[in-house]
C-alpha cells in the first residue's frame, strides 16, 4: 500500500495524473454510447476522469450519472447549435479541467490511451494538442491507420486530412483552445470536417503531437451519421478552401479539396459542378485520385460502391 501511495504522489507531482475531462456527444445511439462510456471509464489512467455526456436533440439519460470523484459522469443537453460541434462546445465550456478529450459515441479507447497522451504532453512542454493512430472497424474487417511520425505540422495538415488523426483521439489544453485556436466551428454544415478545421487552427500555433499507436477503435459504416451527406460535405469542403490559405497555397492540399468536391458534386448528380472542380483539380494536381473517382461517378459508377470499397480498406473519400 505504501509503495502505491508513493507512486501516485510522484505521478501527481510531475503532472502525469492531472484530471482529464471527456466530452461525449450522443444522439439516439444508447447502446453504442454505453459501450463507449465503459471504455472511457475503464482507462488505466492514474488521474481523475470527468465525463460530460452531451445529449444532442434528445433527452439526457440521468441514469448514467456517476458521482465517483475519480471516474465521474455528468449528463446535460446541448445548449448551443444543434449538432456535433455545438455539443462539443457545450461540453468543453462545462468542464473545468485543463486537459480535455473527445470521443464519438460509437468509438472506443484502448486502456493506455490517456496515459500515453499525457506522457507526450509532458515530454513536450510547449505542446497543446495530442492525437493517436487508430484501428478502423468495418464489419468483420479491421485496418490499422498510422501516421509514421510523432509530430504533425500545419504544412502536413494543409496537404492532407490525415484521417488517422481521428477526433476520438483528440486531447488538448482547454486554455489553448479558449484563448488561442478557438472552439469547434459551429458554422460548418452538420459539423462536417470540423475535426480537420480544428487540427489546422491548432497546428498554426503549435505542431500536433502524435502517439503513433492505434489506441482508439473507430466504427465505420452504417453507424456514421455523415456517411452519405454529400450536399453538406460539398459546402464544408468549399468553406475549408475559403477559410484556410494554407490549403489554397499548397498544390497537393488544394488538389485534394478539388478532388473531394468533384466526387461530392458527382455523387448528388451535379455534373456541371463536378466537371468544373475536376478541371481545377487536374490543373492543380493531376495525380490526385479523388478527381478520377469523381469522374467515374460522372460516367455512371455508383458513388456508394466506390465509398464502400474504400471503407473496406479503412479509407474514405
Per DSSP, the three-state class of 164 is: coil
Q: What gap in Å lies between CA 15 and CA 37, rounded to an integer?
A: 24
Query: Helical H runs in the chain?
Result: 2-14, 30-41, 84-94, 113-123, 154-159, 174-176, 194-205, 230-243, 245-249, 251-267, 271-284, 289-298, 303-311
Q: Does residue 316 form part of some domain? A: no
Q: Are residues 193 and 74 in the same domain?
A: yes
**Is residue 191 left, alpha or beta, with left meaning phi > 0 and alpha meaning psi from -120 to 50?**
left
Domain boundary at 219, 253, 280, which?
Answer: 219
* Same domain membership, residue 267 and residue 132: no
Do 207 and 269 lie in a common domain? no
pLDDT of residue 309: 85
Residue-wise pLDDT for 270-307, tens only, equals: 999 999 999 999 999 999 999 999 999 999 999 989 88
Q: Based on the fold, state whether residues 16 and 109 are members of the same structural domain.
A: yes
Is the separation of the CB atoms in 103 and 22 below 8 Å?
yes
Same domain assignment for residues 193 and 269? no
Looking at 219, 243, 274, the residue that finishes a domain is: 219
C-alpha grid cell for residue 214?
Answer: 492505434
Model pLDDT, residue 89: 98
Looking at 168, 198, 219, the residue that finishes a domain is 219
- Integer Cα distance of 235 and 33 in angstroms: 29
Residues 201 and 295 grouped into a single domain: no
Query: Which structural domain, as residue segments, surrounds residue 209?
Result: 2-219
pLDDT at 9: 37
CB 103 within 8 A of CB 40: yes
Burial of 134-161, coded b for 16+ CB within 10 Å and e otherwise, reads bbbbbeeeebebebeeebbebebbbbeb
Both 188 and 304 in one domain: the answer is no
For the chain, how many structural domains are there in total?
Answer: 2
Can you name the residues that pair with 101 across neighbouring β-strands?
A: 22, 171
Place of cell 473517382: 293
Cell readout for 207 is 505542431
Question: Tens place of pLDDT for every residue, the chain, 317 residues?
Answer: 333 333 343 344 456 789 999 999 999 999 999 999 999 998 889 999 999 999 999 999 999 999 998 999 999 999 999 999 999 999 999 999 999 999 999 999 999 999 999 999 999 989 999 999 999 998 888 999 999 999 999 999 999 989 999 999 999 999 999 999 999 999 999 888 999 999 999 999 999 999 999 999 998 765 554 456 888 999 999 999 999 999 999 999 999 999 999 999 999 999 999 999 999 999 999 999 999 999 999 999 999 898 888 877 777 77
pLDDT at 11: 45
Chain-centroid distance of CA 192 in Å reads 11
Residue 225 lies in a domain: no
C-alpha cell at 36: 463507449
Report the predicted TM-score, pTM, of the whole model to 2 decimal places: 0.88
Same domain assignment for residues 184 and 47: yes
**What pLDDT shows up at residue 2?**
34
Amino acid at each position: 500500500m505504501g509503495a502505491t501511495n508513493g507512486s501516485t504522489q510522484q505521478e501527481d507531482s510531475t503532472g502525469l495524473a492531472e484530471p482529464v475531462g471527456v466530452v461525449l456527444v450522443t444522439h439516439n445511439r444508447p447502446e453504442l454510447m454505453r459501450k463507449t462510456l465503459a471504455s472511457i471509464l475503464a482507462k488505466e489512467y492514474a488521474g481523475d476522469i470527468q465525463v460530460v455526456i452531451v445529449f444532442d436533440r434528445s433527452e439526457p439519460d440521468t441514469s448514467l450519472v456517476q458521482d465517483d470523484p475519480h471516474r465521474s459522469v455528468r449528463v446535460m443537453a446541448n445548449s448551443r447549435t444543434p449538432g456535433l460541434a455545438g455539443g462539443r462546445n457545450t461540453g468543453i465550456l462545462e468542464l473545468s479541467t485543463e486537459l480535455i478529450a473527445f470521443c464519438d459515441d460509437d468509438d472506443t479507447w484502448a486502456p493506455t490511451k490517456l496515459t500515453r497522451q499525457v506522457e507526450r504532453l509532458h515530454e513536450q512542454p510547449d505542446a497543446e494538442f495530442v492525437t493517436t493512430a487508430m484501428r478502423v472497424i468495418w464489419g468483420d474487417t479491421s485496418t490499422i491507420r498510422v501516421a509514421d511520425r510523432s509530430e504533425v505540422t500545419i504544412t502536413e495538415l494543409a496537404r492532407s486530412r490525415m484521417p488517422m488523426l481521428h477526433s476520438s483521439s483528440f486531447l488538448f489544453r482547454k486554455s489553448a483552445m479558449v484563448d488561442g485556436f478557438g472552439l469547434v466551428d459551429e458554422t460548418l454544415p452538420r459539423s462536417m470536417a470540423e475535426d480537420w478545421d480544428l487540427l489546422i487552427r491548432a497546428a498554426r500555433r503549435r505542431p500536433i503531437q502524435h502517439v503513433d499507436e492505434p489506441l482508439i477503435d473507430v466504427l465505420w459504416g452504417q453507424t456514421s451519421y455523415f456517411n452519405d451527406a454529400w450536399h453538406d460535405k460539398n459546402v464544408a469542403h468549399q468553406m475549408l478552401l475559403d477559410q484556410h490559405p494554407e490549403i489554397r497555397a499548397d498544390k497537393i492540399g488544394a488538389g485534394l479539396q478539388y478532388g473531394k468536391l468533384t466526387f461530392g458534386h458527382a455523387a448528388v448528380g451535379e455534373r456541371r459542378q463536378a466537371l468544373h472542380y475536376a478541371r481545377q483539380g487536374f490543373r492543380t494536381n493531376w495525380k490526385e485520385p479523388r478527381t478520377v473517382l469523381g469522374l467515374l461517378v460522372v460516367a455512371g459508377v455508383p458513388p456508394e460502391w466506390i465509398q464502400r470499397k474504400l471503407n473496406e480498406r479503412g479509407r474514405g473519400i
